[in-house]
Structure 1
Amino acid sequence: MKLPRRFFALPLFLALSLPCMSQTPPVQPVSIAQKTAAMQKLDGYFPIAWDAKEGKLYLEIDTFGKDFLFLDSLPYGVGSNDLGLDRGQLGRGRVVRFYRSGPKVLLIERNLEYRSSSPSADEQLDVTQSFAESVLWGFKVEAEDGDKVLVDATDFFLHDAHGVAERLEENKQGTYHLETTRSAILMEGTKNFPLNTEVESVLTFTTEGPVHAPLVASVTPDAHAVTVHEHYSFIQLPDDGYKPRAFDPRSGYFDVSYRDYSAPLGQSVDIHLISRHRLQKKDPTAATSEPVKPIVYYVDRGAPEPIRTALVEGASWWNQAFEAAGFRNAFQVKVLPEGADPMDVRYNVIQWVHRSTRGWSYGAGVIDPRTGEIIKGQVTVGSLRARQDYLIAEAVLAPYEQGKPVPDAMREMVLARIRQLAAHEVGHTLGLAHNFAASSIAPGTSVMDYPHPWITLKPDGTPDLSHAYTTGIGSWDKVAITYGYSDFPQGTDEHKALDTILRKTTDSGLIFITDEDSRPLGSANPRSHLWDNGADPAAELERILTVRAAALKRFGENAIQPGQPMAQLEDTLVPLYLLHRYQTEAASKEIGGLDYRYAIRGDGQLITSIVSPADQQRALDAVLRTLDPFALTLPQSLLEILSPRPPAYPTTRESFPGRTGLTFDPQGAVESAANLTASLLFEPARASRLVEYKLRNSSLPGLDDVINQTLKATWYAPRQATITLATQLTVEDVVLRHLLSLAASPTASPEAKAIALSETDQLNTWLKGKAGDANAPALLHAHWVAAQNEIATFSKDPLKFATPAELETPPGQPIGDDDDF
C-alpha cells in the first residue's frame, strides 16, 4: 500500500534541521572529583564514596577486563541451624571482571568449569565462546576521568547476594521478599584495604499475611520481618606464584575440578586439584625450614574463657603436622586483635557462634577457583555443642549427689571436646575432608573423624570420662599435611614423591574413607562410620551396651542439679538411653558389608572384600541385642520420678515423643530406639546386597537369615510380663512396620522385596495360629489380630500401603543439615 504523501515530511524536516542541531555543544561528563566532592571517601582496592545525604554508595572503577574475586557472606545470621544462615557464613567465591559499554558497566562472572590450558589464544577463545558466562549486575556511569568511571553501586550492595530469601523458601518458611525501605548500607561495616574492598548492608526480608514460619518465628522478634547483615567483598586474586597440586583420591583433600579441552588425547580432560593454603620454605633444600610466610589463625575474642583457650590449644595441634611435613613454626594460632574485622580477608578466623538450637560446626574458606589456593580460612563453632557434651556427662555420671562437689571430669570432658572440634574444623579450612575410617584403626588416628566420647567403667562399675577424647594431632593428619604442603627441592619429580608418600601410608595400615561412603544408613564399608569407636564394631557395640546399662542403673534425680524441675530429668535421659545409637549403625555396616579402599591401579591396596560370614553373624547378634526388651525397658523407680512438664518448660524436638499426652510415655522412648535399629536391619540397599552376596557365596548370611533371626528375637520370642511385655509389643510393631516397608520399597531389588514378602507370609501364618488360642490374654490376642489386619491391608495393594506414622526419634547428631564441610 502506498503511504500518504504527508508521511515523507518528517524525514525531510529532520534532514533540513541537522546542520542546526550539530551546532549544539556536546554535554561534558561530570568529573569524579566534582561528583564526589561532598562525599565521604574510602580509598583502597576499589575506591568508594558515600553520599550520606542520599544514602548512596559509589564505586570507582579504573580496571576493566581484569579478574578479581567477588564473595558474599553473612556477618549477622538468623540463629537457627536448620535454616543454614549462620553468623560468619561464607557464600560462593566468584571470579569476575568489569566490562564497559558506553554508559554501562557490567559485572561478568567467568565460567571456570571449562578451560583451555593451551598457550594458543585461538584455542582459548574457542572454549570461552562455547560456554555461557553470567552477567551478575549492570551499573550506570555517573562520572568519569579518562579511563576511570564512577558508578552508583547502591542497588548492587543492597541486593540479596547470599540468597537469604531463597534459603527461607527452601526450608518451607514461606515466601519472603527483600524490603528496600527497611534496608540500608551499613558504613560501620564498610571498609577498604589495599587488597580488598568490604561493604556491608543491613537487609530486611518481609512476608505478607499470616506467617507459617516456625523456624523463623523461634529466632526473630517478628516473623513478618527477618533482618540480617550481608557482606560483599571484592578481593584481589593471588599472583601466579602459587603452584597448584594434583588431587589424589587417597590423599584426603577436597578438590577443585574443571575440564581442560586442550588436554592431549589419551589423557583425561577432567582436571582435579587440591585446596590448600600457600606455604613455602625459606630454604626448600633443608629437611626442616621456617616458612616464607606462616599460616596464622585468629580466635574470636567473643568466645568466653576457658573455651577461648581451648580453641587456641586445639587449633594449634596442627603445627605438629606441619613439623612432620618439614616446617618450623609454620602454623600459628592467636586471639583476634582488638578492632580487627573477622570478615576481613586477611584474617583466617575461628568464630564462636550462638544459635537457638545446637547445630553443626563448619570449616569453610575463600578459595581461588582457578587454582584451589585457599585465601582465607573461616571456622564456625556452635556454642551449644559444648553444652550438649556437658549434658551427656550429666547423664552418664549422675554427679549431683547431696553433699559432694561436682566432679571436674565433666568440665574437662567439654574442654577436651572443644579442642578436638577446633582442630577438626580448622582441618577443613586447610583443605582436608573427613576421614571416617580413622577410628577403626586406633583412637586419635585423625582429628578429621567424628569422635564419640570413650566412656569406660571403673572397677566399682561407675562410668569414667577421664579418657573421653584424645589429645593432639593424629598420624593420618600428619600424612595428609605432608602430601598437601610438602615443599620439594627444585628438580624433584613431584608426582613420584607424592605417590611415594601415599604408598607408604597405605602400606602402614592407614585408611582413608570419607563422607559419600559413610553417611548413608545403607552404606557398605564396615571400616567407616560417624561417632563410632574401635576396630571391631560389633565388640564395641557390646561394650557400649554394657556401659549404657551400668549408667542407666545409676540414673535418677542426681542427674539434674538441685532446684531444677524434676521434668528436666527427661532431657538428660535422652542421650543416655540412646547412647548406643551410633555404634549400632557402625555394627550394622558389617551386615551385608563390603570392605574397600580408594585403590589406584598398581598401588597394592585392598580393592574389595565382602565381610566374612563370622563377622556378619557377630554383628547381627550384637545389633539384635539393641531390640532386647530388657535393655529397652526403663525401671519402675525411674518412671515414678519422670513428671509431666511444668509451665515454661515445654517439650522440645530433643524430647522423647509419646502418645500419652502430657505424661512421659516410656513406650515412646522404646519406639524411638527400636526404629533406629529396624531401619538399619531392613534398609533397602543393605537388603539388596545381602541377597546378591549370598548368591556369590552361600556361606554368607542372606536377607532371609537376617529377617528370620530378627523375627526370632522379637515376634517369635517367649512372652515377657508387666512393663517388659509392653516394650516387647512396641518393638514387634516397629519390626513389622519396617518389614512391610522393605517389601514395598521402590529402591530395593525385586529379589529383596520378594524375600521380605515371603517372610511376612510366614509371620502371618504364625499369627493366625497364635490368634486362634482362646486362652491367650486379651492384650496379646489384640496385638496378634492387629498385626494380621495390617498385613492383610498391605497385601491388598503393597504399592499404595501406607505404614503407620512413626514417632520421630530425637536428634542425635547436631541438629540441621548434616553437610559438615
Structure 2
Amino acid sequence: MKKIPLVLLFIFSTILYVKGQKPGKIDSATQNLKPYRGYFNFYWDEKNGRILLEVDKFNTEFLYINSLPAGVGSNDLGLDRGQIGGNRVVKFIKSGHKVLLIQPNYDYRAISQNTNERKSVEEAFAQSVLWGFKIEAEENDKVLVNFTPFLLRDGHHLADKLAGADQGDYKVEDSRSAIYLPDTKNFPLNSEFEAIITLTGKAKPNAREIRSVTPDADAITVRMHHSFIQLPDSNYKPRRFDPRSGLYDVSYMDFATPIDEPIVKHLATRHRLEKKDPAAEMSEPKKPIVYYIDPGAPPLVKDALRQGASWWNQAFEAAGYKNAFRVEILPDTVDPMDIRYNIIQWIHRSTRGWSYGESITDPRTGEIIKGQVSLGSLRDRQDFLIAEGLLQPYEDGKPIDTTLMHIVFARLRQLAAHEVGHTLGLQHNFAASVNNRSSVMDYPSPLFSLKADGTVDLSKAYATGIGGWDKRVILYGYQDFAPGTNEDKALKDIISETLKQGYLYITDEDARPADGAHPQAHLWDNGVNAADELNRLMLIRKHLLDNFSEKAIRPGAPMAMLEEVLVPVYLLHRYQVEAASKMLGGLYYTYAIKNDGQTVTKLIAPAEQWKAFGALMSTLSPDALALPEKLIEKIPPRPDGYPRTRELFKSRTGLTFDPMAAAESAAGTTIEFMLNPQRAERLVEYKSRDNTQPGLIPVIDKLVAQTWKAPQQAGYKGELQRLVNGLVLKQLLTLTADPQAAESVRGIALMEIDGLKKWMQVRLNIAPGEEKASLLFGLSQIEAFNKNPDQFKPAPVLIMPDGSPIGD
C-alpha cells in the first residue's frame, strides 16, 4: 500500500475544513446580484442563471400555486395557457444545513384549543416535503438558498399528463430549460417565479394531439410559473356549506368534533365581501370585487366580455350591495400576476374547446383569493358557424344579416358571466333551462323558432342578464348579516325561500348524458319537457335541411365548405337526444335535506317515458336521416388546401362526401343512449318495483318492431333503414357482451337477440336483394357472437364530429 504524501493530506484537510465551514453572510453572497424585494426577497444571478431565495419566514404558512402561463395549445390535452395547478398551504422549516418546503395535511384537522389534540391529528397523517434546499448563506434568522432547481423541474407534471394521454414519454431537459425573467417578479403579498421548461422524448407515432401543436413533437417547450402567496388574515368568517346552495365547497375531517356531530366539515367557497354597514338593507362594500379583462382580446370581444361579466352586479345588488362588483379593462400599470387582481383572459388553441373559471382558494377556509377566467378564443367562431347554418345569410346582391354578429356577442356575454360565476364560487346548474333559463350557470343551447315566412327567429337565442337562481346563490354566499343575527337560521331561511320560489338545482355528474337519469337536467338543451323540445327541434331541422344551400357559405368559399356548416344543422338535435334519452328509465330527484319539503325521488310517469321513446325513434326514421339529393350533389370532395378535419363527418367512401356515414353517426348515438347499460338496468329495476313502468323487454321489443320488422323502403331511404337495423343489432350484441352490465340486462338482451335471429331466419326466405344481404350479415354477426361471446367485438360505429365543445 502506497503512502499518501504529506502535501496531499494538507490539501484534503483544507478542502474538508472549507466544506465544513458555516455559510457566509447574505449581503456578501448577493452583493453583485439584482435584488427583487417583496413578499420573499430574492436575487437574480445573471452570470450563472440562478435565482437565490431569501427565506426569512420559518414555520409560517403561505400558499403555493403552480400554473402554466404559456401552454401547449390543445384542448384535448388540457394544458392551456393560464391553467392553475393545485392550491397548497406550505411552510419552510430549517434543519441543520437544509431547508425543507413542507406541505401540511389540511384534509385532517382538529379544530381545538387543545394543543395536544391538534398535535395528535397532525402526527397521525402523512405530510409532504415538496423540496429540500441547501443553505448558501445565512444571517440572523434568514437564510439564502439556490431556488433554481425547484423552478426548473416539471412542477406542472406535464410528462405524466402527456404519458397518460398516450402522447409519448418525456422528461425535463436541463440544457434547454432556464429562468424566464420577464415574468419573475415580486409584490408585497406574493412572489412570482417563472421558467422556460423543455420536455424531450419521443412522441408516439399516433400522437396526433401533440404533433398538431408543436414544431417538434420530440421537444415540447412551455413556461411554468410558481407563486408564493401570503395567506389572508384571520378576519375572514367561513360560511357553512349547504348542498342545495349552488356553491362549491372545501371539506375536511375534524377529529375534535363531538361524536354526535358529523366529522366531515364543509365550507362554502366565496370571496371576502363585507358591507360598510351590515345593518343597512343596501350598503356599499368595504372593498369591492373587481375583475380585469385581458387587454389582448379584440376590442369588440372586450366590450362583450365586460358587459357579460358585469351582469353579476345585479346579483350583488339583490343581496344588498351597492357597487360591490366591477369589471374593468386591465390597465398597463397593473400586472396580471399580482395576486390582488382577478383576471379574465382570452386564450388561443389550435381547436375550439372549453373555457374555464378557476380560483386560487385558501384551502383552510374556502376564501377565494383570486379569480382567473380563461376563455377560448375559437368559441365565438363556432357560434358564428351555427348562425351561418341557421340563417344562410350569403345571398347574392343582398347585405349580410347583422344577426350573425349579434348572436356571437350575445353568446360571449353569457360565456363571460358563466365563467366568472365559477370564480365567485358557483357550481353549474343544469336544470335551469326548465325554469325560464334561470341561471347563467347552465350550458345554453341557442333558442330559436321558425317565422311564418320560413326564416329562423334568433331574437331570443341567449338570455340576457343574471338569472333568478344566480341571485339566490349570491344571496346565500355573500349576504352580510347584521350584528346579533343568528346566521345559521338566516342561511336556512334563504334556502327555504329559494325552494318556495320553485328553483331546481342539479349539477355536473347528475346531468351528464351517458348514465345520467334526471329528466330535467341536461347540457345544451332547452324546454320544460325534453321530448316535446326534441320533437319541435326535429321539425325545424327538417325545414332547414330541405332548404339548405350554398347561401350558407361565404362568397368565394369552395363548395366543399358546405359540409362545415351542414354539420351543426344536421346534428341540431344531438344534445336534445341526450336530454330525451334520460327520460327513458329516468328518475326525478333533488338534493333534499331531511324535512325540507322537497320531493326526494319520483319515478317518471310511464306515458312520459313512452313519449320520450317515440321522440327518440323519430330521429332514427329514414325521413329524419336522409339528406336532400340536391344538397348531396352540391358537396364535392375537398380541394387542395382544405383537408378533412375532426369537425367534419367521417366517411367510408374515400374522398367523397358520405351521407350514409353522417346518418350512421347520428343514429348510432341515439341507439347507444337508448340502450345504455345503466339505463337498461334501471328499466329492469323500476319495472320490478312498479309493473306500470316500461321495462327493458317492452322497450327492446318496440325498438326492434320499428326498425328490423318495419316495412322495408326502397332506394336511399331503404339503405338508411337497413343501416339503422344493423346499428340496433350491434348495440344489442355490445350490451350482451358488456361484462360491466348487470346480468339481468345481458340476459334480456341475449333473449331479444335470439328472438330476432329466429325472425331473421324466417324473413331470409322471402327478402329481396339488399335486405337479404343485410339479414345474412346480421345472422353472421350473431353466429360470431355465439361462437365466442367473450372475445366478440363488433366493428365500432362511426362517431359524430366533435361536440361539446369538442372531443366528446
Q: What TM-score range do you get, normalising by the shorter chain?
A: over 0.9
Q: Which residue of 2 aligns with 1:527?
A: 520
1:658 to 648, 651, 655: 651
Q: 1:403 to 1:409 in 2, by over 3 A?
A: same
Q: Which residue of 2 aligns with 1:718?
A: 711
Contact 1:455–1:547 under 8 Å retained in 2: no
Q: Which residue of 2 aligns with 1:181?
A: 175
1:798 to 789, 793, 799: 789
Q: Which residue of 2 aligns with 1:508?
A: 501
Q: How far apart, in 2, do the equivalents of 1:441 and 1:25 lie?
A: 73
Asked if 1:135 corresponds to 2:129, the answer is yes
Compare 299-308 and 342-351 and name the one that shifted more. 342-351
2:801 to 785, 789, 810: 810
2:47 to 53, 67, 80: 53
Compare 425-434 and 23-32 and name the one that shifted more. 23-32
Asked if 1:543 corresponds to 2:543, the answer is no
Q: 1:724 to 1:37 in 2, by over 3 A?
A: same
Q: Deviations over 1:435-454 (max 9, x none)?
A: 001111113x0000000000
Q: 1:24 to 1:245 in 2, by over 3 A?
A: closer
* 1:81 alignment partner, SS class: coil
TM-score, structure 1 as length reference: 0.95
1:239 Cα deviation after fit: 0.4
Which blocks of at least 5 consecutive residues in structure 1 are unaligned? Answer: 1-5, 7-19
Q: 1:82 to 1:24 in 2, by over 3 A?
A: closer
Contact 2:513–2:578 under 8 Å retained in 1: no
The amino acid of 1:62's aligned partner reads D
Q: Which residue of 2 aligns with 1:407?
A: 401
Contact 1:397–1:551 under 8 Å retained in 2: no
**1:175-574 matched pairs, under 5 angstroms:** 175-208=169-202, 212-443=206-437, 445-574=438-567
Q: Deviations over 1:610-638 (max 9, x none)?
A: 00011111111111101011111011111
Q: 1:289 to 1:721 in 2, by over 3 A?
A: same
The amino acid of 1:485's aligned partner reads Y
2:736 to 717, 737, 743: 743
Asked if 1:91 corresponds to 2:102, the answer is no
1:594 to 583, 587, 605: 587
Q: Which residue of 2 aligns with 1:67?
A: 61
1:172 to 159, 166, 175: 166
**1:608-623 matched pairs, under 5 angstroms:** 608-623=601-616
Q: 1:573 to 1:65 in 2, by over 3 A?
A: same
The amino acid of 1:661's aligned partner reads G
* 1:366 alignment partner, SS class: strand
Contact 1:88–1:343 under 8 Å retained in 2: no
Q: How far apart, in 2, do the equivalents of 1:344 and 1:632 lie?
A: 54
Compare 805-814 and 168-177 and name the one that shifted more. 805-814
Q: How far apart, in 2, do the equivalents of 1:134 and 1:795 lie?
A: 54
Contact 1:362–1:381 under 8 Å retained in 2: yes
Q: 1:416 to 1:625 in 2, by over 3 A?
A: same
1:200 Cα deviation after fit: 0.9
Q: Deviations over 1:144-199 (max 9, x none)?
A: 11111111111111111111111111111101111111111111111101110001
TM-score, structure 2 as length reference: 0.97
Q: How far apart, in 2, do the equivalents of 1:806 and 1:147 lie?
A: 67
Q: 1:129 to 1:721 in 2, by over 3 A?
A: same
Q: Which residue of 1 aligns with 2:639?
A: 646
* 2:417 alignment partner, SS class: helix
1:789 Cα deviation after fit: 1.2
Compare 543-552 and 735-744 and name the one that shifted more. 735-744
Contact 1:682–1:742 under 8 Å retained in 2: yes
Q: How far apart, in 2, do the equivalents of 1:417 and 1:685 lie?
A: 34
1:212 Cα deviation after fit: 4.9
Q: How far apart, in 2, do the equivalents of 1:536 and 1:466 lie?
A: 22
1:504 Cα deviation after fit: 1.2
Q: Which residue of 1 aligns with 2:104?
A: 110
Q: Deviations over 1:86-126 (max 9, x none)?
A: 01111101100001111110000111110000110000000
Q: How far apart, in 2, do the equivalents of 1:440 and 1:529 lie?
A: 10
Contact 1:681–1:706 under 8 Å retained in 2: no
The amino acid of 2:783's aligned partner reads A
The amino acid of 1:107's aligned partner reads L
Q: How far apart, in 1, do the equivalents of 2:175 and 2:17 lie?
A: 45
The amino acid of 1:804's aligned partner reads A
Contact 2:606–2:693 under 8 Å retained in 1: yes
Q: Which residue of 2 aligns with 1:15?
A: none
The amino acid of 1:264's aligned partner reads P
Q: Deviations over 1:40-97 (max 9, x none)?
A: 0010000010010111110001111000011001111111011111011111011000
Q: How far apart, in 2, do the equivalents of 1:23 and 1:210 lie?
A: 52
* 2:414 alignment partner, SS class: helix
Q: 1:256 to 1:58 in 2, by over 3 A?
A: same
The amino acid of 1:302's aligned partner reads G
Q: How far apart, in 2, do the equivalents of 1:750 and 1:127 lie?
A: 45
The amino acid of 1:780's aligned partner reads E
Which blocks of at least 5 consecutive residues in structure 2 are unaligned? Answer: 2-13
Q: 1:289 to 1:751 in 2, by over 3 A?
A: same
Contact 1:398–1:554 under 8 Å retained in 2: no
Q: 1:764 to 1:284 in 2, by over 3 A?
A: same
Asked if 1:145 corresponds to 2:139, the answer is yes
Q: Deviations over 1:396-425 (max 9, x none)?
A: 111111111110111100100000000000
Q: What is the root-mean-square deviation of aligned Cα atoms in Å?
A: 1.8
Q: 1:667 to 1:122 in 2, by over 3 A?
A: same
* 2:566 alignment partner, SS class: helix
* 1:725 alignment partner, SS class: helix
Contact 2:166–2:204 under 8 Å retained in 1: no
* 1:176 alignment partner, SS class: strand
Q: Which residue of 2 aligns with 1:3?
A: none
Compare 160-169 and 82-91 and name the one that shifted more. 160-169
* 2:343 alignment partner, SS class: strand
Compare 461-470 and 67-76 and name the one that shifted more. 461-470
Asked if 1:697 corresponds to 2:690, the answer is yes
1:798 Cα deviation after fit: 2.5
Q: 1:209 to 1:168 in 2, by over 3 A?
A: closer
Q: Which residue of 2 aligns with 1:777?
A: 768
The amino acid of 2:585's aligned partner reads G
Q: How far apart, in 2, do the equivalents of 1:116 and 1:548 lie?
A: 59
Q: How far apart, in 2, do the equivalents of 1:711 and 1:723 lie?
A: 21
Q: How far apart, in 1, do the equivalents of 2:637 and 2:748 lie?
A: 44
Q: 1:607 to 1:300 in 2, by over 3 A?
A: same
* 1:83 alignment partner, SS class: coil
Q: Deviations over 1:459-492 (max 9, x none)?
A: 1122221211010000000000000001111111
* 1:218 alignment partner, SS class: helix
* 2:182 alignment partner, SS class: strand
Q: How far apart, in 1, do the equivalents of 2:744 and 2:258 lie?
A: 46
Q: How far apart, in 2, do the equivalents of 1:305 and 1:815 lie?
A: 26
1:527 Cα deviation after fit: 1.1
1:340 Cα deviation after fit: 2.7
Q: How far apart, in 2, do the equivalents of 1:589 and 1:213 lie?
A: 35
The amino acid of 1:442's aligned partner reads N
* 1:155 alignment partner, SS class: helix
